[in-house]
Structure 1
């Protein structure tokens, strides 16, 4: 079975997603996409398209069938374990406060929406997308909270003025995050078993197919190789923690809790996602090393095309 069409199926699920990202890089390089368009398109995806997609997909399914508690619990446990390991590693390497913040954040914060959801959709289908959306809505608050701790804790001795204000502002952003709110609204809609009126349902079906390709093109267009000019070895270590240690820990926990099949593949993909581009933004706001943050994003994204594919091959070969 594994030596038949399975390898090709896995490659066809993962590689096209990264090819679209690469197209975004090329389009930005040759100025088919400029910074103004990318900013506007990112806002469109973040505030409208992605929330609409998640709300419609989650709200239109049976929550009891799509929710998997062990999937979320295992994701939380693997993320927290890697978070602590990254802090210990940064201390062992003797990294400074700014480098530590960027390194730790880059070791656990995943690009779930722009990379995870498209791969899950390709690999599992609409049903998997709904499960991944619920997982995303429940784990993103943890990722945001840990990012603040990762960037602020190394500077605790300095206690610079304005840090508390910045943290409070970001905490409010977490509470009003449109993606989280859309997932929670979709969960409530599903639990209450509310129908989508025909006209509304058709509107969603016209609007939402644009979400994933636009998101991937914007992801590619957002890469700045000029920012990625330092700390390649440290960035590679962060990518290793993200793509191998965190994902491997999560898969081990999932198997221990009895997760298998489609749900296990969803968990492996979501945990194996590369470091999110927003880590650069967070680093800029909270005194992190922005050059290192940019390098981690690029290195982990390139590496994740291999590691996610590898994990899916391993799961298929193991019969899980």
Structure 2
């Protein structure tokens, strides 16, 4: 356990450094915003494109893997929704809590950390998890909130959702990389080196940005946020792990899936909460609590799955 903890500690150390820099105001709030934009639009996109360009699409897509992650994540989503409705929360708030229960920080934390810890072989399963989260569950919550507020789904509702998916740089970079791979295009040396250098900035930049974004968050609604954090860190990896076993997913890919599911609540859930004006404080606190707790829970999960 100690060896695994020490392997993950530098990643969480970078998050802590970002938090300290922003907390002491050495790194201003505007700096965190622009650093996040640099990582999101440039460094992480370069990393994802380079990974995807070296993947075989036919080998990447595994129906059992997709079904296991979808079934496990959907079950946790339904549990989160049911728990919120049992507390008589409005439908938009219930959907936002359900989103917290199963949407992990795969883009900013999972891709950089898991690929470094588990090797580039982990890139395919991690990208698959990231794609499902963005295409399925982010679309689902957006549709639910729009439908609950407008009395039903309309064609005008779907357009901004589709535009958001098409304009997401992570999706664009993955699709572009997979097309590059599918057409067997050569990767010129200078381009590969350029992408490698730019993509290398994704890991420290993303982790530092996560920490800086946490500095301004205050803990509130602790009971509800604690439940959401526990569901994300414990219930989600357990659910996808059981689904992977039942569907006989290849062991290494199943381990990567479980490790990705064990990641803390994603920052983009707060972006959605802020955009829709739904449960912002609850989501913000869940991100804070789950990120802090994941310093212990992520190494524990990786020990249990034998992937570190």
Task: Give the TM-score of the pair, scaled to structure 1.
Answer: 0.87
Q: Distance in 2 between matches of 1:164 and 1:238?
A: 32
1:22 is matched with which residue: 16, 20, 27? 16
**Alignment of 1:255 onto 2:245:** yes
Contact 1:17 1:118 in 2 (8 A): no
Find the residue that maps to 1:230 and give its secondary structure.
coil
Q: Show CA shifts across 1:243-286 (max 9, x none).
A: 21121010011112223542222111111111111212211221
Deviation at 1:17, TM superposition (A): 1.6
The structural deviation recorded for 1:52 is 0.9
Match among 140, 148, 173 for residue 182 of structure 1: 173
Change (3 A) 1:132 1:312: same
**Which residue in the other structure is 2:115 paired with?**
121
Of 68, 74, 88, 2:68 maps to 74
Contact 1:42–1:218 (CA under 8 A) maintained in structure 2: yes
- The farther-off stretch of 258-267 and 292-301 is 258-267
1:173 aligns with 2:173: no
Q: Distance in 2 between matches of 1:304 and 1:27?
A: 21
The aligned residue for residue 193 of structure 2 is 202
Range with greater deviation from structure 2 (194-203 or 120-129): 120-129
How many residue pairs align between the two structures?
A: 308
Partner residue, 1:146: 140
**Contact in 2 for aligned 1:277/1:297 (Cα 8 Å):** yes
Once the two structures are TM-superposed, the CA of residue 138 in structure 1 deviates from its matched residue by 4.1
Please tell me the root mean square deviation across aligned C-alpha atoms, in Å. Answer: 2.6
Whether the 8 Å contact between 2:81 and 2:98 is mirrored in structure 1 is yes
Whether the 8 Å contact between 2:52 and 2:174 is mirrored in structure 1 is yes
Q: Where do 5+ consecutive residues of structure 2 fail to align?
A: none
Measure how far apart 1:150 and its partner are.
5.4
Give the superposition deviation at 1:235: 0.7
Distance in 2, Cα, partners of 1:171 & 1:63: 23
Question: Secondary structure at 1:61's aligned position in 2?
Answer: coil
Matched residue, 1:3: none
Q: Identify if the C-alpha distance between structure 1 residues 152 and 87 changes in structure 2 by more than 3 Å, giving closer, same or farther.
A: farther
For 2:292, which of 288, 294, 302 is the aligned residue?
302
Structure 2 counterpart of 1:46: 40
Contact 1:54 1:130 (8 Å CA) reproduced: no
Alignment partners' CA distance in 1, 2:262 and 2:140: 18
SS at match of 1:274: coil
Deviation at 1:205, TM superposition (A): 1.9
**Distance apart, 1:175 and its partner CA:** 2.2
The answer on 1:232 being equivalent to 2:222 is: yes
- Contact map agreement 2:103 2:133 (CA 8 A) in 1: no
Hey, which bits of structure 1, 4+ residues long, moved more than 3 A?
61-69, 96-99, 149-153, 158-161, 163-168
CA pair 69-17 structure 1, distance change in 2 beyond 3 A: farther
> For the Cα contact (< 8 Å) 2:46–2:196, is it kept in 1?
no
Secondary structure, aligned partner of 1:275: coil
Counterpart-to-counterpart distance in 2, 1:8 and 1:80: 33
Per the alignment, residue 107 of structure 1 pairs with 101
CA contact (8 A) 1:268 1:308 kept: no
